[in-house]
Amino acid sequence: MNPRKDIFILLGAVLFLVLGVAVSLGVIPGLTPPAVPAEDQRALHIPELLAPPRGIEYPSTPKALAKADPEDWRNPEESDDNWDYDLFTTIDIVWDPVQKEYFPRRKTIRPLPPFGVKLERIGHPTYPYVLRSTLPAASKKDEDRLFFIENVETKQYFEKLKLKQPLEDKSPITLIAFRVDKNAKDKDGFPVTRNVLKLEDKSLTSKDKTIEIDDLGVIEFKNRVDILLVSTSEPGKSWPVTAPGDRFAYQGAQYVVKGIDLASKTVTVDKTFAPDPKKPKKTFTEVLGLPVETKPASPEKTPTKK
């Protein structure tokens, strides 16, 4: 350290200390703050205190007096949803797995309305005409062979038909050709002989107006689906479904087909609506299947007494 520098710093500190003490004691004139006058001497030293007030005179208001007996704290007003609580008291809530929402335990949960629609039919569309049987002619010629056809939808039966003839008068269907397929298999994979009758049907929507029917069962159009949803409360109200994404509106709700499973014969449908008008809409999903047919139980036989 530099001794000379330390001496100068020490002398400067002492000088500032002496100057501060002198100012505080009023030894140096001009640097001493004025003394605060006494209460009775302030008007003499401060003339502004005796001047009349300036500006607008505000009306005087009575002073509010506190009540001797204050009211007790009132209970909070109850809401429609029972989301009310006292100070430091939590709400007892429960989880509703159907609506996927928490509710106060003491609230009566509004039950959801029925889904509104059900599955009536699912599968591939089928051609209604089936070859029931065929009889060869004595001439053993196909043009003399007799055919028996049934409309499985109307249960109408057509007998003793021949090739190159219409199904009936003014019918758009004409019998064209016949062949026998000996290498065919049934639905279980067993080899069978298949009698095939080729028809021309002008009512078909496809470009090719010909179709082959046989004596094994109805013909399915594998490239299309035949699905029908119906109302559970309004008979006759129905909606055909062709593919996932189909949508329709019913009774204030929006329905959207999310999936189709032909193997299990089910359709997955989303229903979007507002269970509570005061709250946003919610989406509920159900997998609709065909109704299970229940056969009536056979009456029990009571043993006869001998």
- Tokens in use for 163? 């090739």
> According to the model, what pLDDT value does residue 13 have?
81
Average pLDDT over residues 151-158: 94
Binned at pLDDT 50, 70 and 90, residue 131 comes out as very high
Binned at pLDDT 50, 70 and 90, residue 202 comes out as very high
Among the listed residues 263, 264, 255, the one whose alpha carbon sits nearest the alpha carbon of residue 286: 255
Whether residue 295 is predicted with pLDDT greater than 70 in this model: the reply is: no
Indicate the average pLDDT of the chain.
Answer: 82
> According to the model, what pLDDT value does residue 99 have?
72
Among the listed residues 177, 172, 217, the one whose alpha carbon sits nearest the alpha carbon of residue 197: 177
> According to the model, what pLDDT value does residue 54 have?
77
266 SS3 class: strand
Whether residue 89 is predicted with pLDDT greater than 80 in this model: the reply is: no
Average pLDDT over residues 72-87: 55
Do 195 and 182 form a contact (C-beta atoms < 8 A)? no
Q: What are the residue ranges spanned by the domains of the chain?
A: 1-35, 117-122+224-289, 126-220
Binned at pLDDT 50, 70 and 90, residue 123 comes out as very high
> According to the model, what pLDDT value does residue 186 have?
81
In angstroms, the CA 200 to CA 177 distance is 10
> According to the model, what pLDDT value does residue 224 have?
87
Q: Is the pTM of this model over 0.75?
A: no
300 SS3 class: coil
Whether residue 95 is predicted with pLDDT greater than 90 in this model: the reply is: no
Q: Please, what's the largest Cα pairwise distance for the chain?
A: 155
In angstroms, the CA 274 to CA 297 distance is 42
Binned at pLDDT 50, 70 and 90, residue 7 comes out as confident
Whether residue 25 is predicted with pLDDT greater than 80 in this model: the reply is: no
Whether residue 305 is predicted with pLDDT greater than 80 in this model: the reply is: no
- Going from the C-alpha of 11 to that of each of 5, 14, 234, 273, 289, the distances in angstroms are 10, 5, 108, 89, 104
Q: What is the pLDDT of residues 221-271, one digit of tens each?
A: 888 899 999 999 999 999 999 999 999 999 999 999 999 999 999 999 999
Average pLDDT over residues 107-131: 88
> According to the model, what pLDDT value does residue 118 have?
95
> According to the model, what pLDDT value does residue 84 have?
57
Binned at pLDDT 50, 70 and 90, residue 85 comes out as low
> According to the model, what pLDDT value does residue 213 have?
94
Average pLDDT over residues 103-125: 83
β partners of residue 287: 268
In angstroms, the CA 183 to CA 179 distance is 12
End-to-end, the C-alpha distance of the chain in Å comes to 137
Average pLDDT over residues 24-38: 65
The CA-based angle 209-210-213, given to 5 degrees, is 135
Whether residue 154 is predicted with pLDDT greater than 80 in this model: the reply is: yes
* 10-27 burial: b if 16+ Cβ within 10 Å, else e: eeeeeeeeeeeeeeeeee
In angstroms, the CA 20 to CA 5 distance is 23
